[in-house]
Structure 1
């Protein structure tokens, strides 16, 4: 295993003190991420402020050593792996610097956990809309790096839509301040939204100014069961075509429904597809919004529709969706969790294609997710210790991506690319487009030290 150059080791020890470690225990603790892959870093830096981040990047650049940012390492794509690089943990940079309720903004450091921020904002009657399933574990820096979303994206947008400005350190070790604390800004290039979603390959985010929303006064839900995915997708199109925007619009295919019922214990009838629909707003208008969504949900192929008018009843309706993660773990020790996206009208073809792949490769594939955005999580379930299953799962993956792209879709809606989907970027983009991306990378990281081997394939 490679080691940190002695001169760099001494320089980082002097800069960071106890915030620099290269012992075996520290390296092992920072070797993996949510993708279940592992890659041993050279050392672990835990800076306390932006100045230390800039200084350590400059030091690593001088010694030609790569740098990889890590939040809580929930990435499912290998984006946080720091093999042969210095892993930069933002665990000590986890301060909420400001909550300016009058401006509806919060200024935070990258190590703040999403759930902790939400709890702090609740006291002000505000929330930050991106709400990934890992909210209690994932960090704001990680959310921004991957442009994370969640169920609320359909109404409120993903991370990129809810950030106003950043302070970041480029691959040259320079601090750049981009964006502002205003919701309108037509000044210069929009580097804020370029850095968001770049998975730490363009710059390391050291501070973010986030756009907040008021907590809705009330919520209510619908659960609609359909004969098949075609009927459910037609309902999604009707729902999204009328003025009342749902706060959440989630889809479950037939395999998800069976899994939630038979393994997760959810109380749900057999059906070909399911939609979970949530509305939010003030108590006076919410019933009218829910009525509009219910009218749109009704149509050919509807088997049953259940309405929940309060939080407790809504929680019961959402229990089936929440049961899926546990149910998947019960039938397979591992999964390839891909978050592909297609135009809403192509959801039936995507689901049909996923079902065909499951039959062809004789392996369970469960599809559910954020129907209002066309963003479905296709979970290929398998046993990695079974060589046959492992091979079939790996063979099904490129076919899933090919299907998605053929339907006019894209490789990721919220997980990002990392190492897992890097080679498929050639299928998603033509050579001139990839060359333009590489030119941007070279401008901000001329020596290629920031998270190398991620996102962009080799030329």
Structure 2
């Protein structure tokens, strides 16, 4: 049962936001109470502010009544980070969706958090620029959501994740104060780096109301490689070779045998193999052939079965269509999916893949592994039938062992999805007590009453 809001708070926010910005009907609350984790909970109300002043007023009013606030973008998160488990007010940034400035001379853009990643990319095209973060949901996800979980994507291997591509923020802390950190410059040694602290904090430290994003020139030319291997060990050895040589790939994606088999069952034109790498190079027309040759040389080695080169746009699209088709195809295996975006050092990828293969056999479950091999960030997808109690229990037992395996390989719990609640209880095993205490001290400083996205990221004391 969702706790009702204090009448005084309801009246204050209804007056502030008006009927289009203050929603208390069940349909609206339900629509804003879930994300792609398939978890859900009902908030007491939904606020849709139009500007930073309204955001600050919402936070101050909720703080006065000790009512939780959960910030929300488009709901594409997979870790339950935007689910209002403690009720309270969901703050949706759907109406704060303006691109405020595009500054080609400074290679930056200033945006509100509700701007869609895909819309921003379209707006930047005439300027010959792009913003590097490219999560799989880029057409639907918001910049605010990207900031919340430090989103990545295939391009992160060369261009970095969200945190590497933000110059400054304006945000509202849990006390309702507006802070400014960073700005339209690329060097800054002025005080603490609050910009990068807020990014990835999943709405637990402050609500971002404006971001200054670092832009990159769009490459003049791109080309791709598809390398097929005898087994995962041969493919992951190639990943290490690729990342040791000077030419950094623009993308480097791995698919294991189960991923390839899934694609073939769903009609994709992919040859049979034990593993596959998709590699992309970008640059100018003069240097691209040399970059592509360097990557092809590194990809070649023991266990490689075939190497295909795609230099024109349509050929590259055919190569990457298989990667884009993977996530939707997973549901054809089983309706239940536990998707974890774990990270290990690149040199430890072979241990991760072989360990997951052993877990799949031990638990008699399909586990599909693919993802951003150049960063050591692989998506481990445990497939199961939720209505089968025994199978569900095996799936969650396998998940625990996946996390234990990752930590034993000196890895970490999340590369781009965030912690939310899905991985929160593993934080004490991933981080030592002193580090968690420092994080709690930061949380208390910026959100003294603990109203911002309570229960997320940090485990209970």
User: Which band: TM-score by shorter chain?
Assistant: over 0.9
Tell me if the contact between 1:229 and 1:347 (Cα under 8 Å) persists in the aligned partners.
Answer: no
Aligned to 2:389: 387
Is 1:100–2:85 an aligned residue pair? no
Aligned to 1:287: 289
Aligned to 2:18: 17
Aligned to 2:157: 154
**Corresponding residue SS for 1:360:** helix
Q: Runs of 5+ in structure 2 lacking a partner?
A: none
Aligned to 1:91: 94
How far off its partner does 1:298 sit? 0.7
**Corresponding residue SS for 2:332:** helix
Is 1:226–2:226 an aligned residue pair? no
Per-residue CA deviation, residues 389-443 of structure 1 (Å, 9 max, x unaligned), is 2111111111100000000000000000000000000110111110010000000
Is 1:190–2:172 an aligned residue pair? no
How far off its partner does 1:181 sit? 0.8
Aligned to 1:437: 439
How far off its partner does 1:326 sit? 2.7
Aligned to 1:446: 448
**Corresponding residue SS for 1:391:** helix
Work out which of the residue numbers 174, 179, 192 in structure 2 matches 1:176: 179
Give the 5 Å matches for 1:68-83. 68-83=70-85
Task: For 2:44 and 2:321, locate their aligned partners in 1 and report how far apart those are by CA, in whole Å.
Answer: 43
Work out which of the residue numbers 290, 299, 304 in structure 2 matches 1:297: 299
Aligned to 2:218: 215
**Corresponding residue SS for 2:382:** strand
Task: For 1:347 and 1:269, locate their aligned partners in 2 and report how far apart those are by CA, in whole Å.
Answer: 23
How far off its partner does 1:23 sit? 1.4
Task: For 2:319 and 2:145, locate their aligned partners in 1 and report how far apart those are by CA, in whole Å.
Answer: 30
Is 1:311–2:310 an aligned residue pair? no
How far off its partner does 1:323 sit? 2.2
Task: For 1:50 and 1:323, locate their aligned partners in 2 and report how far apart those are by CA, in whole Å.
Answer: 38
Aligned to 1:164: 167
Aligned to 2:128: 125
Aligned to 2:401: 399
How far off its partner does 1:334 sit? 2.1
Q: Give the length in aligned residue pairs.
A: 458
Task: For 2:289 and 2:173, locate their aligned partners in 1 and report how far apart those are by CA, in whole Å.
Answer: 49
Task: For 2:369 and 2:120, locate their aligned partners in 1 and report how far apart those are by CA, in whole Å.
Answer: 30
Tell me if the contact between 1:166 and 1:179 (Cα under 8 Å) persists in the aligned partners.
Answer: yes
Aligned to 1:320: 322
Q: Runs of 5+ in structure 1 lacking a partner?
A: none
Task: For 2:294 and 2:373, locate their aligned partners in 1 and report how far apart those are by CA, in whole Å.
Answer: 18
State the TM-score, normalized to the length of structure 2.
0.98
Task: For 2:190 and 2:89, locate their aligned partners in 1 and report how far apart those are by CA, in whole Å.
Answer: 35
**Corresponding residue SS for 1:220:** strand
**Corresponding residue SS for 2:368:** strand
Moved over 4 A (4+): none
How far off its partner does 1:45 sit? 0.4
**Corresponding residue SS for 2:331:** helix
Tell me if the contact between 1:249 and 1:275 (Cα under 8 Å) persists in the aligned partners.
Answer: yes
Aligned to 1:410: 412
**Corresponding residue SS for 1:447:** coil
**Corresponding residue SS for 1:219:** strand
Aligned to 2:239: 236
Task: For 1:404 and 1:85, locate their aligned partners in 2 and report how far apart those are by CA, in whole Å.
Answer: 35
Aligned Cα root-mean-square deviation (Å): 0.8
Of the structure 1 ranges 89-98 and 376-385, higher mean CA displacement relative to structure 2 is found in: 376-385
Task: For 1:406 and 1:305, locate their aligned partners in 2 and report how far apart those are by CA, in whole Å.
Answer: 33
**Corresponding residue SS for 2:436:** helix
Tell me if the contact between 1:251 and 1:370 (Cα under 8 Å) persists in the aligned partners.
Answer: yes
**Corresponding residue SS for 1:102:** helix
State the TM-score, normalized to the length of structure 1.
0.99
How far off its partner does 1:327 sit? 1.9
**Corresponding residue SS for 1:394:** helix
How far off its partner does 1:319 sit? 2.3
Aligned to 2:116: 113
Of the structure 1 ranges 310-319 and 426-435, higher mean CA displacement relative to structure 2 is found in: 310-319
Work out which of the residue numbers 271, 274, 277 in structure 1 matches 2:276: 274
Work out which of the residue numbers 349, 359, 362 in structure 1 matches 2:361: 359
